[in-house]
A and B are shown apart, each in its own frame.
Chain A
C-alpha cells in the first residue's frame, strides 16, 4: 500500500531524513518510533504530499506522491501533529467543510459525518465551536477529519498526544480496529504505544531508520537470554565455576569491579532463587541480585543512542525510562 524508497529530505543546513526506505502492506499498522526531531513528521509530510522529497520515491496505493498528488491525497487521511481545526467553526460545520473538500456530498457526507461523530464520541460537542473545546476533543475532531472519507491509508502524527489515559486507550482500540481494512502509519515517541497498537515498528533516529521489525522480535534481537546482575562481597576464586553449575545458567561473566557478575540463563528460566540459595549457603556475602530485563524501551534507547555515544538518555526518551545501567552491555 505504501512504498517508500530511499527518500531524502535536505534543507539548506541539515538533512532531515536520509535514504529512508520502508513499506506498509494493506491492512497493516506500522509505528514510527523515534525521539523528537528524528524525522518522523518530515517523512509523513512527504507521504501526504505536503512537501516533496529531495530524492527518492514515495508511492501510496500505486500512485507516486510527486507525480499524482491529487490521487494520493484522495486515498490518505492525515492527522498532523497539531489538529488542523478552525476555531471559529462548530464541529459539524468543520466536518462538513472537510467532507466537501474530499469530494463527499449529500447523503454520503451526512452518513460519513454521523459515523465519525459516533465513532469518536463527539455527539455531545457536535454543535459547539471548536475554539471552545478541550485539547482532547480537538484531537478527536482531528481524527474524525482524517477518517471522514474512509481512506485506505491513514497517517497519524502522534495521535494520542493531549488525551487522558482513558481516551488514549479508546483511541488505541480504534486504531487496532482499523487494522485489516486500513493501512496505518502512526508516529509516536512513547514505546508502550507502539507495542500496544502496531504489528511492526520502524525506529528512526537522526533521519535514518535504525531498526525495523515486530515489537517482539525487535526486543528478542537484542535479548538472547535472561540476564541477572549479582554482587557479592566475599567472592572466592572459583565462584564463576560454581555459579555455572546452577541449573539453567549458561554464562557467567565478571562485570566491572571485583565481586560483580553477570549471569545469563535460558529465556524464561528464572535462576534467581537458586543463585541466592547458593550464595547464602556458602556465605559469599550476597549484596545484590536483580534481573535485568530488556524492554522495548531499552532497545529503543540502545538503537537510537548508539550513534551519539552519549550516556544520558536523549531528550525525547528521557521520560519514564529506568535505565538499566551499563550491565546490559554484556560482552556476548
Chain B
C-alpha cells in the first residue's frame, strides 16, 4: 500500500466516524434537493401559465432548472466544504498527532495529497448522490444531457478548488473554527473578485481580476462550454493551493 493510500484510508475512516461529516452530508443533500424541487415546481408553474396564454409551451429545463441549480449550489458549497476540511491539519496539530506524521518516513507531499484526496472523494460521493435529480427528471422529460454533464464537471472542479483552499486554511492554524472561517473568507474574496473585475470593465486589470475569480470559469462550464482556459485555471489554482499548504506546513517546523 502506498503512503498516499495509507493516509487516504485513515482519513476516510476518521471522516466516517465523525458526526460532522454526516451532518454536512445531510444538510447538503437536503438543501440541494429542496432547491431542485423549488426550481422544478417554479418551472412547472411557468409552463402552465404559458399554456394558458399561448396554448402551447416550450420549456427549456436546461435553462430553467439546471443552470439555476448549478448557480445556487455554489453558495451551498462555499458554506459546507470549509467544514469538511477544517479538521484535516488543525486537529492533528491540536492533538499532537502531527508529530507522528512528521516523524514517519513519508514525504509531506504524500500527507497533503492523501488528506486532500480523502475530502475530495467524500465530496464526489455527495455529488454523485445529487445525480439522482437529473436521473429522475430524465424519466419524465426531455433535456440536453451535455450541459448537465459539463455542469457536473464544473462542480467537481469548483469543489476541488474550494477544498484545496480549505486544506490550506487548516494548515495555517490549530483551531478548527479559525480554519473554517479563514477558508470562508478566502473563498468569498475569490468570489467578490468577479464583481470587482466587472466594475473595472474591459481594461487589462479588469480582465486579470476577473480571471482570478472562479466565477466566469465555472459559468462557462455550466453553460456547456468546455474551454481549455477554464480547465487550466482550475488545475493551476488547485496545484497552487496544495503547494502553499506544503510550504506552510514545512515552514511551521522552522518556527
Contact = CB atoms under 8 A, between A and B. Distances in A.
Q: Do A and B bind each other?
A: yes
A169 B10 CA distance: 34
Given A51-B254, A52-B253, A101 B3 contact: yes
B99 interface: yes
A301 B99 CA distance: 31
B95 A80 contact: no
A50 interface: yes
B96 interface: yes
A145 B106 CA distance: 16
Query: Most B CB atoms within 10 A — which of A52, A82, A97, A102?
Result: A97
Given A51-B254, A73-B104, A93-B13, A101 B99 contact: no
B93 to A, nearest CB: 11
Interface in B93-118: 95-107
A89 B103 CA distance: 20
Contacts of B104: 73, 98, 101-102
Interface string B1-16: 1010011011001100
A86 B14 contact: yes
Contacts of A86: 10, 14, 95, 97
Contacts of A97: 6, 9-10
B253 A50 contact: yes
A103 B3 CA distance: 8
Contacts of B6: 97, 100-101
B103 A48 contact: yes
A85 B107 CA distance: 20
B141 interface: no
B3 to A, nearest CB: 7
A102 B100 CA distance: 11
B17 interface: yes
B18 interface: yes
A85 B97 contact: yes
Contacts of A74: 105
Query: Most B CB atoms within 10 A — which of A11, A45, A50, A105?
Result: A50
Contacts of A88: 13-14, 17-18
A82 B107 CA distance: 23
Contacts of B253: 50-52
A102 B99 contact: no
A87 interface: yes
A84 B105 contact: no
Interface residues of B, number: 26
Given A86-B97, A97-B10, A100-B1, A50 B105 contact: no
Contacts of B1: 100, 105
Nearest to B18: A88
A70 interface: yes
A230 interface: no
A4 interface: no
Contacts of B106: 70, 101
Nearest to B255: A11
Interface residues of A, number: 31
Contact of A76 (B9, B18, B103): B103
A91 B36 CA distance: 44
Interface string A61-99: 000000000110110101011101111110001000110
Contact of B102 (A11, A50, A81): A50
Interface string A100-117: 111101000000000000
Nearest to A99: B6
Nearest to B16: A88
A73 B97 CA distance: 16
Nearest to B97: A84
Contacts of B107: 70
Contacts of A279: none
Query: Most B CB atoms within 10 A — which of A45, A78, A84?
Result: A84
Interface string B72-91: 00000000000000000000
Given A86-B14, A101-B106, A52 B97 contact: no
Contacts of A80: 96, 99-100
A49 B97 contact: no
A86 B101 CA distance: 11
Interface string B28-39: 000000000000
Query: Most B CB atoms within 10 A — which of A11, A78, A86?
Result: A86
A227 B206 CA distance: 87
A87 B100 contact: no
B103 A70 contact: no
Contacts of B102: 49-50
Contacts of B14: 86, 88-89
Contact of A87 (B9, B95, B98): B95
A81 B101 CA distance: 15
Interface of B: 1, 3, 6-7, 9-10, 13-14, 17-18, 95-107, 253-255
Interface of A: 11, 45, 48-52, 70-71, 73-74, 76, 78, 80-82, 84-89, 93, 97-98, 100-103, 105, 145
Given A73-B103, A80-B99, A89-B14, 12 more contacts: A50-B102, A52-B254, A70-B107, A82-B96, A84-B95, A84-B99, A88-B14, A93-B13, A97-B6, A101-B101, A105-B1, A145-B100
7 contacts: A80-B96, A81-B96, A86-B10, A88-B13, A89-B10, A101-B104, A102-B105
